[in-house]
Amino acid sequence: MSLILVCFGVFVCFFGLTGFAVVIYFGFQAREQTKINDKNGKKATFEQLILVNYLAICLSAFGLIAIIIGMLLS
């Protein structure tokens, strides 16, 4: 049981870190598009990136909690 919980936690943490990488990548892509001066478009893009960033933080925290509980059970 504890091994399954730890593996699940590592798996979820991996997706959280992947989410961080996606946010960083798309953040740099949005900043490099200086040709587009549409402030509303950029604002919407960054709001979506903030939402994905919060989701990645929650996934990583949930994975860390699962890992800790799995280690405590063993």
Question: Using the 8-state DSSP alphabet, how is residue 35 labeled?
Answer: S
> Which pLDDT score is estimated for 35?
58
2-32 vs 39-73: helix crossing angle, rounded to 10: 160
State pTM to two decimals. Answer: 0.78
Low-confidence ranges of the chain (pLDDT < 50): none
Segment 61-70, tens digit of pLDDT:
999 999 999 9
What pLDDT does 43 receive? 78
How far from the centroid of its chain's Cα atoms is residue 59's Cα? Answer: 7
Q: Which sequence spans correspond to the domains of the chain?
A: 2-73
pLDDT of the residue at 2: 86
| pLDDT confidence of residue 8 | 92
Burial of residue 52 (CB within 10 Å: 0-12, 13-18, 19+) is: middle
